[in-house]
């Protein structure tokens, strides 16, 4: 078994519409053109960004993070950034292996960063920093982005968040509270965990969730900040994004069906991919520590395609 998957266990594109956007808008195209812009110094830091494991002190709390750089990374040309948040009772190394997102980063040119909690949990609202509810993990997220921008060459228009379980709750919270920074989010097996989610712009979203998830239940409001089921959570996000079309089925393979809301404000799209009978898992991975897995869709590959279609307009 992959040692990183084992670490996770021990601790506990046919479905897309092309889109690309401002700190107030996203815009779309069916085939985004290659970036032929000059190599600006703005957005590029000291050039000292390296792959590896690092630490960051924020408000007296010591956090960690893993940096994965794609082979195409050029310290003089801004690269998109993905923050991939681990689950409750898990860690950054486990999330790196469990989501298998590094190959997606390599293929798409993403700098992928895996934040590491000081106590294997994130304060994302109702889930799951039960012993550290006053800790400012959202502030840490923004401090981490700032640090990466200072040392690396990060495209500030293309910063994204994904994550598993408690990490998915973090992705949702960042979309709710820092839409000016995150161009799109892709939660896996999570919900909105705060009672008042009011993004400053329409945030593109794709969510993956299993119907047999007993940890973050699909058909129950448990752990939700507004007592919503998963379908209600995603439908509410589509309402926030002022989507007028959908949901329309855009993908079906085996146990997995995806439905998309479109004609949204600022060219956003909202998609829910439901895996019948899947447990608390990352779709596409053959192993699931809590329930049945599915490989009928590769969530990481789909998320990679999804992220490439969105950008903030500066």
| pLDDT confidence of residue 313 | 83
> What does the DSSP assignment read for 134-200?
T--HHHHHHHHHHHHHHHSBEEEEEEEEEEETHHHHHHHHHHHH-TTT-SEEEEES----SS----S
How confident is the model over 61-83, as pLDDT tens digits?
999 999 999 999 999 999 999 99
- Sequence-ordered strand ranges (E) for the chain: 52-58, 61-68, 79-85, 111-116, 154-164, 184-188, 205-210, 245-253, 256-262, 270-275
What's the average model confidence in pLDDT over 86-107? 98
Nearest CA to 165 out of 219, 111, 124, 110 is that of: 124
Residue 26 has a pLDDT of: 52
| Strand pairing category for 79-85 and 154-164 | parallel
- pLDDT of 114 over the 60 cut: yes
pLDDT of residue 47: 82
Q: pLDDT for 259-289, tens place per residue?
A: 999 999 999 999 999 999 999 999 999 989 8
For residue 243, give Cα distances in angstroms to 19, 23, 309.
14, 19, 17
Provide the pLDDT for residue 75.
95
Q: Does the structure show a pLDDT above 50 at 105?
A: yes
2 pLDDT higher than 50 = no
- CA gap 10, 77 in Å, rounded: 39
pLDDT at position 43: 52
**Residue 263 has what pLDDT?**
98
Residue 38 confidence class, pLDDT cut points 50, 70, 90? very low
Please give the pLDDT value at position 309: 97
90 falls in which pLDDT band (50, 70, 90)? very high
What is the overall mean pLDDT for the chain?
89
In a 10 Å sphere around its CB, with 0-12 CB exposed, 13-18 middle and 19+ buried, how is residue 17 labelled? buried
Could you tell me the pLDDT band of residue 60, with boundaries at 50, 70 and 90? Answer: very high
Residue 111, Ramachandran bin (φ over 0: left; ψ between -120 and 50: alpha; else beta) = beta
What digits encode the pLDDT tens for the residues 118-165? 999 999 999 998 878 889 999 999 999 999 999 999 999 999 999 999
Closest among 312, 33, 87 to 182, alpha carbons compared: 312
The answer for 5, left when phi > 0, alpha when psi is -120 to 50, beta otherwise, is alpha
- In the chain the domains, ranked by start, together with CATH numbers, are 51-308 (3.40.50.1820)
Whether pTM > 0.75 for this model: the answer is yes
Instruction: Please give the pLDDT value at position 129.
Output: 87
| Cα Rg of the chain, angstroms | 18
């Amino acid at each position: 078994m992959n040692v990183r998957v084992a670490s996770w266990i021990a601790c506990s594109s046919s479905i897309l519409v092309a889109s690309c956007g401002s700190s107030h808008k996203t815009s779309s195209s069916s085939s985004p053109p290659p970036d032929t812009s000059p190599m600006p110094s703005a957005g590029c830091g000291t050039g000292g960004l390296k792959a590896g494991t690092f630490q960051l002190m924020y408000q007296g709390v010591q956090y960690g993070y893993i940096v994965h750089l794609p082979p195409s990374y050029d310290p003089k040309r801004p690269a998109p950034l993905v923050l991939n948040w681990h689950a409750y009772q898990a860690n950054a190394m486990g999330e790196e292996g469990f989501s298998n997102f590094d190959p997606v980063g390599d293929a798409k040119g993403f700098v992928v960063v895996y934040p590491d909690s000081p106590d294997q949990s994130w304060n994302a609202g109702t889930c799951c920093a039960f012993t550290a509810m006053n800790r400012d993990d959202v502030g840490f997220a923004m401090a981490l982005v700032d640090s990466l921008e200072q040392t690396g060459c990060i495209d500030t228009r293309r910063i994204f968040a994904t994550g598993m379980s408690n990490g998915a709750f973090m992705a949702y919270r960042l979309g709710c509270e820092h839409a000016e920074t995150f161009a799109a989010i892709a939660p896996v097996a999570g919900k909105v965990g705060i009672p008042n989610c009011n993004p400053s712009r329409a945030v593109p979203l794709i969510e993956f969730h299993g119907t047999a998830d007993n940890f973050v239940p699909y058909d129950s409001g448990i752990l939700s900040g507004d007592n919503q089921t998963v379908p209600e959570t995603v439908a509410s996000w589509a309402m926030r994004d002022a989507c007028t079309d959908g949901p329309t089925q855009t993908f079906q393979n085996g146990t997995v069906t995806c439905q998309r809301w479109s004609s949204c404000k600022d060219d956003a799209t909202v998609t829910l991919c439901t895996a019948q009978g899947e447990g608390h898992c990352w779709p596409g991975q053959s192993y699931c520590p809590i329930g049945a897995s599915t490989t009928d869709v590769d969530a990481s590959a789909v998320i990679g395609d999804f992220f490439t279609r969105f950008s903030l307009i500066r």
